């Protein structure tokens, strides 16, 4: 059965998974799904979030990083997107968890800015402070050599690109400052990844989907 990716093409987490599917040359269908607390939806994605992946009859995988590792473990004859050495794998995971938990998650408090809704000054201050702390942590572990976890392009790059781009957008909107500039070489790294054909395609689709959503409102 063909893989099915559920979610919304303007979501950063959806694009993390979509970019990995495309980089691995896997065939998949994109199925439009919006987050929901409906009983049937929660059977597929228990927190009611997107993205999730249907892998065969009745089996759904959720949580973007878990989906990435599932793809890597399941499709061994496609381009490898994780190193083989356990220490190097743990570096990919650690960088990704750090970005997801300590940079993207606090910035997410400002998400309504993306849809033209205001947020309070307190929320902006808190998010900016938390993101700054996360960026300081990231600086300790980031490689940019030239990829985020070292010499090899990995799942950690799929994860970093879309999550950091969202953070950059939200913090620039909120404060006028881009936290990506706090790490030397990080803006250039994001530009380099964005020039990969798969990422350029995902960003194009993401922008189209976002514009469509804005037109509907
Ligand atoms: N930890 C989850 C987060 C997924 C997530 O936050 N998805 C957003 C879209 S980007 C969502 O479904 N939001 C709906 C909501 O918060 O109710 C993952 O990495 O997959």
CATH of the domain at 27: 3.40.30.10
CA 69 vs. chain centroid, Å, equals 14
Residues 203 and 100 in one domain: yes
In a domain, 27, yes or no: yes
CA of 36 to the centre of ligand 1 (A): 11
| Domains: count for the chain | 2
CA of 13 to the centre of ligand 1 (A): 7
Q: Give the CB-side neighbour count of residue 27, counting CA atoms within 13 A.
A: 2
In a domain, 158, yes or no: yes
Query: For residue 140, what are the domain limits?
Result: 86-216
From the CA of 51, give the closest atom in ligand 1: 20
In a domain, 80, yes or no: no
Distance CA 80, CA 155 (A): 9
Residues 161, 53, 42: CA angle, nearest 5 degrees? 110
Residues 107 and 7 in one domain: no
Ligand 1 pocket test: which of 49, 111, 166 has the largest number of ligand atoms within 8 Å of its C-beta? 49
Residues 143 and 91 in one domain: yes
- Domain boundary (49, 74, 99) is at 74
In a domain, 190, yes or no: yes
Q: What is the per-residue pLDDT for 140?
A: 98
Residues 32 and 7 in one domain: yes
Going by alpha carbons, the residue nearest to atom 2 of ligand 1 is 63
Residue whose pair of structure tokens reads 């808190």 in the numeric block = 126
Q: For 58-108, give the secondary structure using H, E and C.
A: CEEEECHHHHHHHHHHHCCCCCCCCCCCHHHHHHHHHHHHHHHHHHHHHHH
In a domain, 79, yes or no: no
Ligand 1 pocket test: which of 8, 13, 44, 166 has the largest number of ligand atoms within 8 Å of its C-beta? 13
Residues 48 and 90 in one domain: no
In a domain, 125, yes or no: yes
In a domain, 138, yes or no: yes
Residues 116 and 33 in one domain: no
Residues 102 and 69 in one domain: no
Q: What is the per-residue pLDDT for 57?
A: 79
- Domain boundary (50, 74, 98) is at 74
- Domain boundary (25, 53, 74) is at 74
Residues 118 and 145 in one domain: yes
Query: What φ, ψ does residue 4 adopt, rounded to 5°?
Result: -125, 120
Pairing of strands 3-7, 28-32: parallel
Residues 67 and 95 in one domain: no
Q: What are the pLDDT digits (tens) for 102-120? A: 999 999 999 999 999 999 9
Residues 164 and 188 in one domain: yes
Report whether 96 contacts 155 (CB < 8 A): yes
Distance CA 117, CA 169 (A): 14
CATH of the domain at 112: 1.20.1050.10
Report whether 88 contacts 149 (CB < 8 A): yes
**Pocket-forming residues, ligand 1, beta carbon under 6 Å:** 11-13, 35, 49-50, 63-64
In a domain, 64, yes or no: yes
Residues 110 and 210 in one domain: yes
Report whether 174 contacts 124 (CB < 8 A): yes
CA of 85 to the centre of ligand 1 (A): 30
Ligand 1 pocket test: which of 50, 61, 105, 206 has the largest number of ligand atoms within 8 Å of its C-beta? 50
State whether residue 12 is helix, strand or coil.
Answer: helix
Distance CA 167, CA 157 (A): 15
Largest CA distance in the chain: 50
From the CA of 13, give the closest atom in ligand 1: 10
Q: What is the per-residue pLDDT for 214?
A: 81
pLDDT in tens, the chain (217 residues): 899 999 999 999 999 999 999 999 999 999 999 999 999 999 999 999 999 999 987 799 999 999 999 999 999 999 999 999 999 999 999 999 999 999 999 999 999 999 999 999 999 999 999 999 999 999 999 999 999 999 999 999 999 999 999 999 999 999 999 999 999 999 999 999 999 999 999 999 999 999 988 887 6
Residues 70 and 99 in one domain: no
CA of 11 to the centre of ligand 1 (A): 8
DSSP 2: -
């Amino acid at each position: 059965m063909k893989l099915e990716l559920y979610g919304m093409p303007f979501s950063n987490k959806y694009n993390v998974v979509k970019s990995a599917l495309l980089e691995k040359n896997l065939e998949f269908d994109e199925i439009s799904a919006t987050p929901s607390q409906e009983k049937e939806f929660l059977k597929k994605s228990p927190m009611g979030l997107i993205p999730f992946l249907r892998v065969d009859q009745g089996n759904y995988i959720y949580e973007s990083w878990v989906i990435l590792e599932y793809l890597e473990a399941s499709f061994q004859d496609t381009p490898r997107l994780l190193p083989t050495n356990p220490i190097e794998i743990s570096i990919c995971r650690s960088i990704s968890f750090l970005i997801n938990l300590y940079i993207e998650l606090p910035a997410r408090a400002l998400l309504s800015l993306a849809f033209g809704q205001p947020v309070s000054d307190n929320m902006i201050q808190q998010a900016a402070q938390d993101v700054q702390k996360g960026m300081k942590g990231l600086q300790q572990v980031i490689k940019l050599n030239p990829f985020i976890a070292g010499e090899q392009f990995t799942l950690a790059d799929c994860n970093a690109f879309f999550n950091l781009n969202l953070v950059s957008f939200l913090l620039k909107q909120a404060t006028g400052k881009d936290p990506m500039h706090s790490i030397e070489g990080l803006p250039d790294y994001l530009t380099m990844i964005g020039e990969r054909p798969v990422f350029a395609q995902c960003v194009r689709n993401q922008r189209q989907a976002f514009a469509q959503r804005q037109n509907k409102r």
